[in-house]
Chains A and B, each alone.
Chain A
Amino acid sequence: MPTAVLGSDEFHAPSPASFDLPAVFNLGFDVTKPMLLLALSVPVIVLFFWAASKERAVVPSKLQFVGEYVYGFVRNGVARDSIGSQDYLRFVPLLFSLFTFIVLNNYYSLIPFLQFPSFSRFSFVLPLALLVWVVYNAVGVRKHGLVGYLKHVCIPPGVTGPVLALIIPLEFLSTILVRPATLALRLFANMFAGHLLLILFATGAAFLIFDSGNAWYAPVGVLSFILGILVSFLEVLVLFLQAYVFTLLTAMYIGGALADEH
């Protein structure tokens, strides 16, 4: 927490420990801020889209327009383009929920007082990635049968002959193990690193300006503060992009599992 830095003589650089927030209250187990934020995101999303779709006017209000725009973006821009126009509709609810859930939890990072991206805690990302893993494998097994799906997964297009025996375990690992791992790590690491940078610039600025006890450091502190603002603008982009990438890759994995034999 930034407060740990203020008032101390020495600057403590933020570390992974900065993400271990103290419990807000205790219900037999500690309830922490990211847990509350995650729980908060569900009513916020539900209320927003309930309000946006309440009127269903032909000439939409601003709110309805935004709601429809987000829905259309996921439905057409992500689901239809990656899964193909035959099967995509039944995956839209999953992809839409994933996208809105992740995007809101990411933007917590920049909302004053909330200021914490929930998915900078790996334990929140992992279940999402496992869910995606279960979905795309189940979809593939359903479409091709277990043996057919394993063939689909293990035999890459364009490889023939004896070398195929060497490729099969590699291709299996790449689809079954590496995919969910990279999916989870990408979201987690981006949120973690972005938030760490913001903490560093903010606490660095506060320390250099107020606590260093050396007036010459103050201008550098101002620079650190400005850099923090600039990184915040970068984060505006990254927070959206990571939610988009997660959803897009989910759609692509589903589309790949559904694809006909190469």
Chain B
Amino acid sequence: MNDAPPPQDPWVAFGRVAGGVIFYGGVGFLLDRWWDTSFMVAIGVVLGAALGIYTVAMAQREI
């Protein structure tokens, strides 16, 4: 138990998905306002969640 690598924050997965949704959802929202559309926010949220899951998977593979 001495020098085992410190355990990973189990909430990091949630953080990544939430971070993706917040950021790309936000970008989508701004694009919607700019272009007067209403679907970019949905695309942004889905893209953000997908990128978040992708990051979690890639980081997991590394460990």
Query: A residues near B, CB below 8 A?
Result: 81-85, 156-159, 163, 166-167, 169-175, 177-179, 182, 249, 252-253, 255-256, 259, 262
Given contacts A170-B20, A173-B23, contact A158 B2 (CB under 8 A): no
Interface string of B1-40 (1 = CB under 8 A from A): 1110111110110111011101110000000000000000
Least distance between A248 CB and chain B CB atoms (Å)? 9
Given contacts A156-B58, A158-B59, 19 further A-B contacts (CB under 8 A): A156-B59, A157-B62, A163-B54, A167-B54, A170-B16, A170-B23, A170-B52, A170-B55, A171-B16, A171-B19, A173-B23, A174-B52, A175-B15, A178-B22, A179-B11, A182-B14, A252-B9, A256-B6, A259-B6
User: Are B8 and A174 within 8 A (Cβ)?
Assistant: no
Nearest to B16 among chain A residues (CB) is A174
The range of chain B's interface size is 20 to 34
What residues of chain B have their CB less than 8 Å away from a CB belonging to chain A?
1-3, 5-9, 11-12, 14-16, 18-20, 22-24, 48, 51-52, 54-55, 58-63
A180 smallest CB distance to B (angstroms): 10
CB contacts between A and B, total, < 8 Å: 88
Cross-interface CB contact of B6 among A81, A172, A179, cutoff 8 Å: A81
Interface centre among B5, B11, B22, B60 (most CB of A within 10 A): B11
Please name all residues of chain B whose beta carbon is closer than 8 Å to the beta carbon of A182 when the two chains form the complex: 11, 14-15, 18
Whether B19 pairs with A158 at a CB distance below 8 angstroms is no
Most chain A CB atoms below 10 A, which of B18, B19, B22, B23: B19
Q: Which residues of A contact B12 (CB under 8 A)?
A: 174
Q: When the two chains form their complex, are residues B52 and A82 in contact, meaning their CB atoms are under 8 A apart?
A: no
Complex contacts, B14 vs chain A, CB 8 Å: 178, 182
List, in ascending order, chain A residues with CB within 8 A of B54's CB.
159, 163, 167
* Set of chain B residues within 8 Å of A259, measured between Cβ atoms: 6
Instruction: Looking at the assembled complex, report how far the CB atom of A129 sits from the nearest CB atom of chain B, in whole angstroms.
Output: 13
| Chain A residue at smallest Cβ distance from B22 | A173
With both chains docked as a complex, state the minimum distance between the C-beta of B30 and any C-beta of chain A, in angstroms.
13
Pair B19/A170 contact, Cβ less than 8 Å: yes
Chain B, Cβ-Cβ closest to A186: B11
Contact B22 A177 (CB under 8 A): yes
A172 vs chain B, min Cβ distance (A): 8
Interface contact A158-B62, CB-CB below 8 Å = yes
